Structure 1
Amino acid sequence: MAEIRLKNVCKRWGSFIGVDNFDLVIPDQEFLVLLGPSGCGKTTTMRMIAGLEDPTEGEIWIDDREVTTLDPKDRDVAMVFQSYGLYPNMDVYQNIRFPLKVRKVPEAEHDARVRKAAEMVELTEFLHRKPAALSGGQRQRVALARAIVREPQVFLMDEPLSNLDAKLRVSTRAQIKNLSHELKVTTIYVTHDQIEAMTLADRVVVMKAGVVQQVGTPTDIYDRPANTFVAGFIGNPAMNLMEGQIDSGTFRGRNVEISGLNAGAGKVSLGFRAEDAAVTTAGQGQINAPVYTMELLGDATMVTVRAGNALVAVKASKDYRAEIGDQVGISVPPEICHPFHAETGARLD
């Protein structure tokens, strides 16, 4: 059982700010994902929780214990890294068992705990293999089992799927999701992959340049992004964003006119999701422009047009066909639109 509290945590190196004023409560058993591009501060935040980095300012609490200055071994957290960190001279059984020996757990408990952890990640038949004889996915599962066997208060996972190919990422992601449900341990997971974040998290923290941009459930962040950075980072494809002017509830830009908006007058960035709009006949949409490119996705066709300086993507049916350069219309209902401040990028409604 572990609630984690980060109180105004900062990390600076000279004038460079790695993490700025991170303030958050992570309830017991929550699966929290720190999401953002490289260099945004997500791994630094995790390393401070683990005790591998000291915060410049602020406090870190696990339950009713302040751990800000404690050594990693005294925090009762287990980490799973991007690099598996396995001992090549040890077999799978010995690798999983190693944390129990280090922590001086009574030897009578070792075998049962190792086999239970191995069973949870489907490694029972590989216990006597060396890491060199395992696939990448199997090695990552050994790293997971080595964390599970400790029965820690907190799991910390730093981009554990980055070294796996696309198919293995999907299956291992499902395994982590299932393990989280079974183990019911507070988990903090770092990734730059928004699909991992959306599928795994109870809540997501989106970060940019050391600053938290938005905290919320995957649905919250997808449906109501707090600013243009979050809108452009979450979603595949990312939210369409167009520059223009709103006057009397009508947004106007090059090749674009959308009426019925509930937003004040002035310059804005207007966003909408590709799956919320529809392709229609040329001249009959709120956007009318030539096809820039077409992508067949199997379950849908992605149609992209150029509206002013913006490329606007819309999902059409899987059997929709058009040629590059053909004029098309795009129907954009006003209720699906997201207005953002042109200068700050902050959400306006």
Structure 2
Amino acid sequence: MAEIKLKNVTKRWGDFVGVQAFDLDIADREFLVLLGPSGCGKTTTMRMIAGLEDPTAGDIYIGDRRVNDLDPKDRDIAMVFQSYGLYPNLTVYENIRFPLKVRKVPQAEHEERVMRASAMVELDDFLHRKPAALSGGQRQRVALARAIVRTPQVFLMDEPLSNLDAKLRVSTRAQIKNLSHELKVTTIYVTHDQIEAMTLADRVVVMKAGIVQQVGTPTEIYDQPQNTFVAGFIGSPAMNLMAGEIRDGTFHSENATIPGVSGPPGKVICGFRAEDASVAEEGQGELRAPVYSMELLGDSTMVTVRTGRDLVAVKAPKEFRAEIKAPFAAHIPAEICHVFDAESGERVV
């Protein structure tokens, strides 16, 4: 049983607050992703769970044990870092086996456990090599195997894919997803990449400046962002956010008029997803503006226009073409709109 509980966990360095009153229950076998920009407190939170940082306040439980005063080696966790942390003088086999030697696991078990971990990440053909003879993706798989071989209660992964190129990130991400399903071990994964968060997580914790902004499933966070920060951080592209005002049930912004939008009268921010809007005939549609840019994405064409100071993207069919500055119109029905308070950025509707 490896349920993790963070109770009002705070980390300060002098006047600087790294993590503020983090309160969360992480279920046994859950894959939880801490997501946010650099400096938001996600790695600090992970390091406190690992025992590499001491919380200034609050309690951390792994299972039914309060672990605040336990050394990292006594918490039964395995970490995978952004830097692979391999021993250059050891072969892949010996790198994977190393945690077993340190923890004095009986020698008779080593071969079977190393080979099982190796097979899970498809390293059987590389066991005799040293890290210098491996690609970045292979080295990361060695780091994963070294964590797997321990059979810990908890996996902690700190931006493990950030050193890999785009193609390797996709394949290694799939491998981590499959491993999570096979191993059924509670996992906390830190990333700034929202695509990793959306594809891997059972739940996502979005953080900003040490404060939790929203906790939910990827679908909940994508479909119902709690504030403009989450809306602007999640999605590729991120949610469009238009500053304007609601008058008589209609949202008004420069180049956009959307009737039927629910929300308080006055200044608001209206958000919608690029894929939820559609191209309209010239002279029709709730949004009308000159084309600012056009990007061919293969399966679609992304058209960007400007409304006031805001850039707004609409996903058009892949065969759509338009010149820069040409007139463009899009349908933005009220039911696809999200309304946020203009001052606080918090969700209104």
Specify if TM > 0.5.
Answer: yes
2:79 corresponds to: 79
TM superposition shift of 1:281: 2.1
1:288 corresponds to: 288
Mapped pair 1:348 → 2:348: yes
SS of the equivalent of 1:312 reads strand
Indicate the larger mover: 44-53 or 305-314.
Answer: 305-314
1:89 corresponds to: 89
TM-score when normalising by structure 2: 0.99
1:168-317 alignment, distance < 5 Å = 168-317=168-317
Matched residues in 1 for 2:339 and 2:262: separation? 9
SS of the equivalent of 2:263 reads coil
1:27-38 alignment, distance < 5 Å = 27-38=27-38
1:109 corresponds to: 109
1:329 corresponds to: 329
1:138 corresponds to: 138
Matched residues in 2 for 1:322 and 1:280: separation? 13
Could you report, residue by residue, the CA deviation over 1:40-88 in whole angstroms, capped at 9, with x for unpaired residues?
0000000000000000000000111000111000000000000000000
TM-score when normalising by structure 1: 0.99
Whichever residue aligns with residue 14 of structure 1, its letter is G
Runs of 4+ in 1 over 4 A off after TM superposition: none
Whichever residue aligns with residue 115 of structure 1, its letter is M
Matched residues in 2 for 1:266 and 1:16: separation? 36
Matched residues in 2 for 1:343 and 1:69: separation? 42
Indicate the larger mover: 244-253 or 188-197.
Answer: 244-253
TM superposition shift of 1:266: 1.4
SS of the equivalent of 1:314 reads strand
Identity %: 77
2:159 corresponds to: 159
1:7 corresponds to: 7
Matched residues in 2 for 1:193 and 1:94: separation? 32
Could you report, residue by residue, the CA deviation over 1:1-22 in whole angstroms, capped at 9, with x for unpaired residues?
3000000000000000000000
Matched residues in 1 for 2:106 and 2:33: separation? 34
SS of the equivalent of 1:262 reads coil
1:57 corresponds to: 57
Give the count of matched residue pairs. 349
TM superposition shift of 1:309: 1.1
Matched residues in 1 for 2:269 and 2:172: separation? 38
Matched residues in 1 for 2:95 and 2:253: separation? 60
TM superposition shift of 1:256: 1.0
SS of the equivalent of 1:157 reads strand
TM superposition shift of 1:283: 2.1
